[in-house]
Amino acid sequence: MTDNLPLRPGDKVFRPRRIKHIHLKRVLGVPALFSAGYGDVGSSIYYALGIVALVALGATPIALAAAGVIYIFNALTYAEGGAMIPEAGGSASFARHGFNNFVGFIAGWALMLSYIATMAISAYTIPPYLSYFWTALDNPAVNTLVAMGIIGFLMTINVLGVRESTRINIFFIMVDIATQITIVVLGIVLILSVDPSILITNMFGAGNWPSTTNLIQGIAIAALCFTGVETVSQLAEETKKPAERIPQAYILMIIVVLLLFAGISIVALSAMTPQVLGDPINGWARDPVAGIAANLPSETLQNIFKPLVAILAASILFTATNAGLLGISRLTYNLSSHKQIPEVFGKIHPRFRTPYIAITIFCGIAIFLLIPGFTNPDFFSDLGALYVFGSLLCFAFAHASILRLRATQPDLPRPFRLGWNIKVANRQFPVTAILGVLTTFGVWMVIVIKQPFSRWAGTAWMFGGILVYMLFKLITYYKNKSDKLKF
């Protein structure tokens, strides 16, 4: 044995390097959380309003209001869950704690689908708005190339660090909210107050009210407008004092989103008929807010707000693309940390301390999804259907998980606890979460039945994810078994 021999000059001593677990930095406050969440939900009005009008016609404000109620249920559930479990993952994290790793993976896989789709659809919708300044952007090939470039640019920013990207979000969100408020006020003063009967006619007049089936489908599609709650939850690990600031961000989102969406939808139907609003060829289905600006009863105001809306839409859609990327990168970090997907996805850059591999991979997938845009300028509606498919499914999982945690872990600290509870077997179950799981799953079923592309593509994505999960677990099992035999 030579272990205790004295060292001689020239001998080398091996000292193992201490392995450090790198954590994401807690740098975000309420403004950053709100801007990230609103960047997702606020952007949808720029393309979803027209799609809802195409189906719901004059009942578009009603459909949006019904979807808004579901949005309140979602935001409240995520407020309790995010304050209780302040880690990236959102519904995937809630489901893992409430059920098990497999259910958590399914929720996370559905969420990945919605994030990838929202990145692609948001980036693809930016060039049409900016075509007001440069008409070449109307060309499908140019449109698609620019969208791909936007995702590539945001990929670089997010690899460098979350602080830089959230500063961009906050700036664009402030511009967006200020402009939307101005448009709503002008629309109410100059259009609605002058002749309120126009709104009544456009909503309830002959041929303007939809069938019951179309109204239900319109409510389902309107769910596209009310997302963003997952994005805030994904940033929980980077939030200062998450128990306080996550619920504050959600409550602020509820107030701002519902007021602005109600105002925009009412002013839109005061400015034009639902047929014009929802016409994808000769109307304003793809750029409904631009339609409001174009129908202001003043040429001077039109000349002011047409370019302003173009800039506004581009900025908020840019922010939504970034919010989707922020969410999915933090989601993969969470899933890999709990061995639900390969650990390489959660690898943190040693200098920038961001999940750079996940950011790069999923930006690549979003760019790949844009390829059909070179030949099919209307393919973004299919992306929207996928977005709704994934989002509603993970919302249902979130509600179910909060209810299960109330049953299995009633004494778990809950800094923000939902009220209006029903007592069952000495357990308190929030009414909003019960209604939330019923409504989100019910609306998800409507989308599955009424939207063939989302039905088949979404189902294929989910089954593909389950196969990936099973294969990963199988490989991990045999690898661990082999390591034990070697030992």
| pLDDT above 80 for 6 | no
- Spatial CA neighbour of 123 closest among 227, 47, 64, 232: 47
Between residues 319 and 68, which one has the greater pLDDT?
68
Token pair for residue 390?
């994934």
pLDDT value, residue 311: 85
- As assigned by CATH, the class of the 30-437 domain is mainly alpha
pLDDT value, residue 348: 75
The rounded distance, in Å, linking the Cα atoms of 487 and 485 is: 5
Summarize pLDDT for 107-126 with one digit per residue, the tens.
999 988 888 888 888 888 88
CA 280 to centroid of chain Cα atoms: 24
List beta partners, residue 427: 424
Summarize pLDDT for 229-282 with one digit per residue, the tens.
777 776 777 777 777 778 888 888 888 888 888 899 999 999 899 988 887 667
Res. 15 pLDDT band, cuts 50 70 90: very low
In one letter, which amino acid is 200? I
Instruction: Report, as an integer, the average pLDDT of 314-340.
Output: 80
- Could you give phi then psi for residue 420, rounded to 5 degrees? 55, 65
Between residues 440 and 358, which one has the greater pLDDT?
440
CA dist list (Å): 72 to 212, 400, 440, 483: 24, 16, 12, 49
Instruction: Report, as an integer, the average pLDDT of 185-203.
Output: 90
CA dist list (Å): 22 to 29, 157, 168, 333, 442: 21, 20, 25, 12, 41
Token pair for residue 158?
């997010």
Mean model confidence pLDDT for the chain: 81
pLDDT value, residue 430: 93
Any idea of the CA torsion for 116, 120, 125, 130, to the nearest 10 degrees?
Answer: 120
Between residues 257 and 396, which one has the greater pLDDT?
396
Predicted structure pTM score: 0.81
Instruction: Report, as an integer, the average pLDDT of 410-414.
Output: 87
pLDDT value, residue 24: 52
The rounded distance, in Å, linking the Cα atoms of 73 and 64 is: 14
Summarize pLDDT for 25-63 with one digit per residue, the tens.
555 677 777 877 776 777 788 878 888 888 889 999 999
**Helices and strands of the chain, counted as H and E runs:** 18, 2
One DSSP character per residue, 33-94 reads: HHHHHHHHHGGGHHHHHHHHHHHHGGGHHHHHHHHHHHHHHHHHHHHHHHHHS-STTTHHHH
CA dist list (Å): 401 to 173, 339, 420: 31, 20, 18
- Annotated domain spans of the chain: 30-437
